[in-house]
Amino acid sequence: MQKSWNAAFWLLVAAVFASILFADFLSLPFGGYASQRFILSGLLALVVSFSVVVLVYQNGWALFGRVWPAVLVAGGFILLALPFGDAPYNWAEPGMYAAFFLGFVLVGSLPGSDKQRQYWVVVLVSVAAATAALYGGATITVYLFALFDQVANLSSFIPWGFVSIRYWSHIATWLLPLLPLAVLMGPLRNQRLWRFFIALGTSLWWWVVFLSSSRGTMLGLAFGALVVIVLIGRPALPWLKMFLRYLAYGVIAWLLLSVLIPSLLLDEVSLRALKADTSGRMPLFIEAWRMSLENSPLGMGPQSWLTHEILTEDYRQSPKFGHPHNMYLMWAAEYGWLLIGVLLLLVGQAVRLFWQRRDEVRAGENTDLALPLAAFTASVSAALLHAGVSAVFMAPGSMLIGFLVLCVFWALITPESRPVTPRRPKARALAAVFVGLLISAPCFYWLNEVVEYHEAMESDLEFYYENVPVGTLPRFWFHGNFPRHPSQMPK
């Protein structure tokens, strides 16, 4: 039975990564963005329902004592959306966020032993490293075609396979701290060909980070590495050395592929500048801040960023986006500072659990945990910082990979526990199934609204392109400016 679950986990992780990094090759039925949103929604509904059944059977009502902050966060998204229940497609986003935050805590609570957690780490890191290296290899093909066509501005074609260059950078933020683990642990860590394959692929990802001037990724990764150095220290040095080695390889790749070779083959070389300004984000931040104060501490309602009356003149004059490029201000604006306070409870629980495991590592009591804890802590820390300047918890590809990373991170910081045989297994099983059905019913309603939302968005496309001269604003869907302010809606 355990082998079947392990095989299913391998297939799930591989399918998620393939649907994100190779969406262009798979010809997904609704296009990459919408298909990834459907995959995310279906996965969240499935894992929440399944995890609740397993965990209630294993732990009974004692489970609530371990996951209550996540339950409060999920309940916060739903309860704070209730006053706006009459708004069209009101439940698509709060349902997604409720399932996302509850889901990774529940899934991360499933493995009871450190051995099972190590297995999850090896699976996720191995699949991530292999697919990332394949993506890097395919990027070289795109690079060669661009050079043969005398394309000076490579950032117009690389990274490829994403509707926005920034959605690729979200993936890089999650993955680059994890890739060194592929040569530090796992069955292939001593194979020279595997180590070369991963080194080449990772260096190409760093090259694309520099090529695309992904400031959010650079700052996030620097912050994540700093957190690991300060909090974990010496036990994390093998991971840090490999992380810095791959960074150095990336710099060399950038000098070779973006400077030297184009200088020899092209008449001019176009390098994307690393800007020091906010790229027009400040008017968005101020608008979201003002929104958060309008109905404080409850917020203006789900998706009100798209539908509200503009509050500041600077934002009225600035380019429009489907979100304010800051997840925390967006949640504060739409769900209120009350939700931010509840989120901080979950963060506080994570910090407390992390600190306990960190003490084990620094004391030498759990040496096998040191490197995974360092890598996943850096990844999560980098993504949390990056979310302050980008839609890390909005883009479906980022949310899918982020969900897997957060599941394993939560498993790593959760104390080891032995399985407990219930005194009344039949009664416990019935209770678990009953709770699972209670969870499944709202999940089914939510998935139905997601489908109806997609159909309505699709039917709105023709009117939008003909009458609303704003362009595509990705949010829940790629055409994310629906529903929008009533003045821009069909009469």
Predicted pLDDT at 151: 78
pLDDT at residue 366, rounded to an integer: 81
Q: What are phi and psi of 188, to 5 degrees?
A: -105, 5
Residue 319 maps to a domain: no
HSE (side-chain half, CA atoms, 13 Å) at 126: 16
- Give the integer Cα–Cα distance in Å for 71 and 74: 5
Per-residue pLDDT of the chain (491 residues; tens, 9 = 90+): 566 667 788 899 999 999 999 988 888 888 889 999 999 999 999 999 999 988 888 887 778 888 999 999 999 999 999 999 888 899 999 999 999 999 999 999 988 788 889 999 999 999 999 999 999 999 999 989 888 887 777 877 888 889 888 999 999 999 999 999 999 998 888 899 999 999 999 999 999 999 988 899 999 999 999 999 999 999 999 999 999 999 999 999 999 998 888 888 776 666 666 666 567 789 999 999 999 999 889 999 999 999 999 999 999 888 888 999 999 999 999 999 999 999 999 999 999 999 999 999 998 888 889 999 999 999 999 999 999 999 999 999 999 999 999 999 999 999 877 666 667 778 878 888 888 888 999 999 999 999 999 999 999 999 999 898 888 899 999 999 999 988 888 87
The answer to whether position 424 is within a domain reads no
Residue 22: its pLDDT value, please? 93
Q: How far apart are CA 80 and CA 91, in angstroms?
A: 11
Question: 346 lies in a domain?
Answer: yes
Structure tokens at 190: 């001593």
- Per-residue confidence (pLDDT) for residue 268, from 0 to 100: 67
pLDDT the model gives residue 101: 97
Domain assignment present for 463: no
Structural domains of the chain, count: 1
157 in any annotated domain: yes
> What pLDDT sits at residue 452?
96
Question: How far is residue 90's CA from residue 456's CA, in Å, rounded to a whole number?
Answer: 13
Q: Model-level pTM greater than 0.85?
A: yes
Residue 211 inside a domain? The answer is yes
HEC readout, the chain: CHHHHHHHHHHHHHHHHHHHHCHHHHCCCCCHHHHHHHHHHHHHHHHHHHHHHHHHHHHHHHHHHHHHHHHHHHHHHHHHHHHHCCCCCCCHHHHHHHHHHHHHHHHHCCCCCHHHHHHHHHHHHHHHHHHHHHHHHHHHHHHHHHHHCCCCCHHHCCCCCCCCHHHHHHHHHHHCCCHHHHHCCCCCCCCHHHHHHHHHHHHHHHHHHHHCCCHHHHHHHHHHHHHHHHHCCHHHHHHHHHHHHHHHHHHHHHHHHHHHHHHHHCCCCCCCCCCCCCCCCHHHHHHHHHHHHHCCCCCCCCCHHHHCCCCCHHHHHCCCCCCCCCHHHHHHHHHCHHHHHHHHHHHHHHHHHHHHHHHHHHCCCCHHHHHHHHHHHHHHHHHHHHCCCCCCCCCHHHHHHHHHHHHHHHHHHCCCCCCCCCCCHHHHHHHHHHHHHHHHHHHHHHHHHHHHHHHHHHHHHHHHHHHCCCCCCCCCCCCCCCCCCHHHCCC
The answer to whether position 302 is within a domain reads no
User: Which residue in 239, 210, 207 sits closest to 378, CA to CA?
Assistant: 239
Domain that includes residue 193, residue range: 2-21+28-277+324-415+431-443
- The answer as to whether 490 is a domain residue is no
